[in-house]
Amino acid sequence: MKNKLLLFFFVGITFNALAQEKETEARGTIKVQKTGQLVKVLFDDVNYRLIGIDQYGNPMDSAVVEFQMQVRVKGLFHGESAKGNTLSREMQLLLNTRDQATKIYFDKIKAKDRSGRIVDMPKFSYSFDSRNDDSY
């Protein structure tokens, strides 16, 4: 009788452990991407658009609502304004005639943060030869 009770006890513990293991297998992990305030704007020279970057490094594609671009092409200074985050057709044609070491200046950038507020972003420049941007 004692052996049967002992055997029953061990079988019960084994089934309990297996049930707990299956219960943890059904659980998943929820990954939450942190989103923060808009901190800077970068120029995407492949798609000719401006992209907002939040404090965690996440891109915000539709953050920029308007901006101004200035560039010197073949000794002549050109300035254009644009609504939205994409360079206008005139700006793109202008950049197609640029020299290799041309620097573009972006200022008067207005962007929409995650809460929907319009904020002024810092001006910056982009150089095609070194592939980096910096404030001016």
In the prediction, which pLDDT does 9 show? 63
* Stated pTM of the model: 0.65
Q: How high is the mean pLDDT of the chain? A: 79
Tokens of 40: 């800077």
Which range, 32-36, 56-60, 119-123, is most confident? 119-123
End-to-end CA distance of the chain: 89
For 47-97, write each residue's pLDDT tens digit. 889 999 888 888 888 889 999 999 888 888 889 899 999 999 988 888 888
Give how far Cα 24 sits from Cα of 35, 36, 88, 97, Å: 29, 32, 54, 61
pLDDT value at residue 115: 81
